[in-house]
Structure 1
Amino acid sequence: HAIGRKQAKPKQQVALAQKAQALLDQIKASSSHSNTTAIANAWTYNTVLHAWCNCQNLDRAQALLDEMESGAGPAPTTSSYTTLMNGWAKARGDPVTNAEHVQALFDRHVQHYQTSGQRPDCRPNHVAYATLIHAWTKTRTVSAAYKAEGLLQQMYVEFQKDEEADSNSKNKLGADRIIPNTQLITSVMDCWQKSGAPEAGQRAESLLQWMIVRSQEQSNPHVAAMMRPNAHSFSAVIAAWARTRQAGKAARARKVLTLMSQMHAKGQIVSPPNTYCYTNVLNSCAYCIQEDDEKKASLAIAVQTYKELLNHADPTVQPTDVTFSTFLTALRNLLPSDDKRTSAVRTVFEAAQERGQVSHVVVQKLQSVLPKKDYEELIPSSCREETTGHVLADQIPAEWKRNVV
């Protein structure tokens, strides 16, 4: 088991994989003699396959899987496929090419399961689906988001089959059940968020609503808990709205935040909105469509959201330097350059100072939004580059940045 360990350095990983392969070859050679008890089983093959994946020699890992599929070795298990899939998902190089390799392996996995008597130890499981979705997410493409959502629906069909099998049988599937859990559904939302699709916010929010309905209709409380949205789920949807260019996106992001608060208050979800959720709503406001009505509505939402976070009773839900920087961006983009904006910006900066959240990012944003005179009044000359006025990060007073993470 130690042979496949990830902690080793690259050269050590290669040496470990070579040693593992040599041991496997030795076991295979000795197993041909009737007086030996050594057998190269699936666990042995999977350990060596894992070692080759650790050192990114995916061709050698693939050769082992080919051997297992051909019948020359033990029959491949779910772990055989998911290990190599994970190797490709984490491989260097073009993310699209890597995702295509993972997809091809997943398809082979499904085919082998269906043509080999549907052995339970070879059934595509949660890890297989999650690895494939992760690989497609890394491509940051619209087509990947649709593929990920299709995989989720495919998994849900398998889940429904398991539900029916459980209800009709005394032998429950238990751990072998395929359940589209919170983490996996959220990863599909994240895929939409990173896709750049105009419809990303709507698709992610639709998945959230689907998730809520599916979890609430579950009679099994354990399964319901596994499918219930968490803070990451809501954050992914808010972030998806923040990244779109659709009109009304700030209102939609704020609506998701409000839904999260309401569900938490009713005890329907465990986590209340966190700082990341609030900050992403501010981000959706900061980069709204530049039309007067849209800017006015977004400004109102930004101010409301900022004040809620600033006055939040929970000490773990407080504005960070990213929050202050994002709100300064919103003020810059949503207000005309006048004394009113200058006054608001100064007030926000003073709040960041008071809370020890003045990072170099906050000061950079301050410089971009304030008149030079006001900027130089707030930032000591010792913190500024003489010619450009840019902040010297290491010169920001320690008291100002004491809580910056």
Structure 2
Amino acid sequence: MPTPISFKSRASGRSQGFTLVELLVSFSVLAILLLVISSMLEHVQRAWRQSTAKVSSFREARRAFDRITHALSQADLNPYLCYRYDGSSNPLLPPGKGANEAPSGYVRYSELQFVSGLSSSGSSPRLTGLAEASSPGHAVFFQAPLGDSKDYRLPTSLNGCGFYIKFGDDSALRPDYLTALGKPPSYRYRMYEYRSPTERNRVYDPSLKTGSGTWYGDFDQNAPLRSRAIANNILMLVISPQLSPSDAASAKVSATSIAPAYTYDSQYGGTLPNRPQLSTDYQLPPLVMVTLVAMDEGSAINLQLEAGSNPPLEHELSQSSLFRNAERYAADMEKLSGLLVDRKVNFRVFTATVPIRSSKWGGGTGT
């Protein structure tokens, strides 16, 4: 029987393993891979934190913007036709209040009002009456069936409503324990909402109307008492009443022709003696373009460190050339953005064009 042949590896006589050089190379490659992965994870986490912080910073501004546009879409005037008497100090009443005096025609009329324009005391008509440095941009006041009743469930009851910006401290807004702990006040630009409950809505009170060219005094006299802050760090509010594209095209005018200086007052001059009624008298604008500029809290903290209790962006936000001419909106927005960038302010712009449901202007909001 033949003897079996055995085969042996040439390496069988030595132990298997890695050399020191191989181990060092392997650990070096592993260290590099871990460093790259760690760097990537850190970069992803930093981007996530930054994006989350930005979303959180502007979430309050987004809610305020949505609140403004929703309320504006429900603005109401409910105008009606009434007799007009030429030659009377009040064109809606006969000169001698006699039953046989013949009217000269019909005019639109409404006890309600829609008014927008510059917020500060130098504007016309006067809206908030605040100083320009304390209330940059525009303000808007109107009536809407928002159903805000203090004592009853009235889902469509009429309320006065408005929005404007005011700079100031938070002493009236924060809980008392912060003051007790000695926490200093925060000075911020804030968006305020005026809301008059149905029971306090005095829009029909003739004693509050102070004459032609003005507006009902309930807004004017009680806006500070019936207002509350709805968002911090709101730098600019722009309200631009506009025609729909179809109405502007049929009239061969620009969309901003009904408010070329951003000022719109549905009652202004509507009852002046011997004055023809304008297309804006006792009418709601078909569209309102709303723009809101907000900054983040980090920028607000840095600005307070620089300016203290003074409005920190007075120069940038109160320039007389900004948002006075509706045709220059794009140029003004570009200029404001550049000014804020120069001040290292992290900001965001919200804008939308809101159709007003109750508007009966021309062809409506079609294109």
Do these two structures clear the TM 0.5 threshold for a shared fold by scoring above it?
A: no
TM-score, length of structure 2 as denominator length? 0.22
User: Which one has the bigger strand percentage?
Assistant: 2
Which structure's residues are more often helix, by fraction? 1
| Higher relative contact order, chain-length normalized (CA < 8 Å, sep 6+) | 2
